[in-house]
Amino acid sequence: MASDQPFARALAAICVGFFVILCCSPQARAVDYTFARDATRAPAVSYYDYIIVGGGTAGCPLAATLSQRFRVLLLERGGSPYGDQRVENMTHFTATLADTSPGSPAQRFVSEDGVINSRPRVLGGGSCINAGFYTRASDEYVMDVGWDLEAAKAAYRWVEDVVAFHPELGPWQGALQRGLMEVGVAPDNGFTFDHIDGTKVGGSIFDDEGRRHTAADLLRYARPEGIDLLLRARVAKILFNVGGRRARPVAHGVVFHDSRGRMHKAYLNTGRRNEIILSAGALGSPQLLMLSGVGPADHLRSFNITLVLNQSAVGQGMADNPMNAIFVPSPSPVEVSLIQVVGITQFGSYIEGASGSNWANPRHQGSGGNRRPPRNFGMFSPQTGQLATVPPKQRTPEAIARAADAMSQLDDSVFRGGFILEKVLGPASTGHLELRNLNPDDNPAVTFNYFSHPEDLRRCVEGLTLIERVIQSKSFENFTYPYFSMEELLNITAEFPVNLLPRHDNDSKSLEQFCKDTVMTIWHYHGGCQVGRVVDAEYRVLGVDALRVIDGSTFNASPGTNPQATVMMLGRYMGVKLRDERVHAEGLRRRKL
């Protein structure tokens, strides 16, 4: 299957780490929030108007907004992104993704489909470990979901004032932009946050000094007297009042543990509008509902979990936008770039790219002049033992060490180039989530069923076909070798250890097979607590009182070309809605009295 050219073989062996560019770690400012402290310093029992579980992409803006009028507890299972070199320093981004220690900001999981993935475990959530691309959902998406369009735009602007910037394109990204327009992905929409068909430059959460701004930065809007933020607070379950005169279970508190294993309880203050809100993400929110007794009855009973509510839709509708990419070696130097340009096609595939030559640990000459420390290739490196082409029993430490050494000896020129990728709108394929055990810190079992729907596969093939035309365009000619055929590029890419799936001999002959064999995550997983199935249009959990879910687990489809802007917007949007509705209702009640 591999290319006959030695150069192509070398590229196939070493260019794995370019994929890691797509989720590089941030370079953030140090922030000292006076309301933040470690959970070990929390009282055994406390009371609040709102308890928010998850200080991530949605939880931070939600907590900041509600704290302006009410008492809020924000519980984050990870630590702070500020002052953490694994997060702040861009040169450490591959090491962060390869870090499988309990305190890593990125918690690796492998889906039941065999695709390697990561979920955040840090204040700021996925905005701390992603590629930084910022783009809104389309107006059609906003209206279909049922959000007020003008209120959503105001919430987007609130977020953008802190975290969104206009990136400057380097030569490689500029060539990709022109190449997309040359092959008909028109019009040229220039720089915009909006989701518009054609080619555009999107926003970035990296500023012009290369510093990442995350959802955690949105806590600057919080009223310090109105919020307590507890770090390394691992929520074990939601507490419910059940039975008696109550027709429905009522959430009234949570149990959480600090890093020393000590148990704490937080309860809602007396008041009919006080609520617990899950913002723990597409994996965390359905997992916590199940651990608390809300979920499929038979599944929960198999773990001896006391059933609070038989809700069969919890954990269903899990989806991850499948991504496939083609590596394009370059005869010319290329800039290090994350996602900046996107081609929004009319057939339902998005085309993007990332490039660079020092995406891994840079090699420096030692004192002897010739010493070269080995590169760290991050989550796709030989050191992770995840090489798809090597059977598990053969992934010995000695074999991995030999592979790492061979890769580190290659000349830097072999690393020049970039990836052009396509990802599928939607997607139409969905799966499910189940518990593995009763430990909320462990990953649940997740199946995404990539390409189980033929429409997703059709879009992948069309996207790859369009990428071939971009590679062959005049605009991109300075960054391609004329003697590399599309078949050879597919062969090179098919050898990258991007997942644990077996390869087939016809990967370079059949784009359908290439899509299936080389599928990767784009870290846009969603579902598990979908609107209309688990929560209502106001994100209240169906069949339960005083409990909502506000995060990406409620999405039926991924918004725009990247969900992070919309997840942050949703936190602000629902925070404003809850705040204003409550203030209005309480004002009316006082006037009646």
Q: Residue positions in the annotated binding site for FAD?
A: 122, 235, 523-524, 552, 563-564
DSSP H or E run through 157? helix 149-163
CA atoms lying within 13 Å on the CB side of residue 521: 29
Which three-class secondary structure string do you get for 508-554? CCCHHHHHHHCCEECCCCECCCCECCCECCCCEECCCECEEECCHHH
From the list 313, 316, 324, the residue with the least C-alpha distance to 456 is 324
Element (H, E) at 252: strand 250-257
Phi/psi for 216 (5° steps) reads: -60, -30
Q: Give the residue among 51, 34, 539 at the shortest CA–CA distance from 264.
A: 51
Rg of the chain, C-alpha, whole Å: 24
User: In sequence order, what are the beta bridge partners of 10?
Assistant: none
User: H-helix or E-strand containing 350?
Assistant: strand 349-355
Nearest to 226 by CA among 74, 68, 76, 75: 68
Max CA separation in the chain (angstroms): 85
- Give the Cβ contact number of residue 238 at 10 Å: 26
415: Cβ–Cβ under 8 A, 6 or more apart, which residues? 14, 15, 357, 359
**Distances from the Cα of 338 to the Cα of 133, 163, 167, 210, 407, angstroms:** 8, 16, 10, 11, 23
Report whether 5 contacts 492 (CB < 8 A).
Answer: no
According to DSSP H, which parts of 67-110 are helical?
85-88, 93-98
Q: What CA dihedral angle connects 198, 204, 210 and 214, to 10 degrees?
A: -160
Instruction: Look at the block and give the residue holding tokens 């809020």.
Output: 72
Task: Please give the Cα distance from 208 to 381 (Å, whole number).
Answer: 30
Residue 187 preceded by cis peptide, ω within 30: yes
Is 524 annotated in the active site?
A: yes
Which of 257, 264, 524, 526 is labelled catalytic?
Answer: 524
Give catalytic residue positions.
Answer: 524
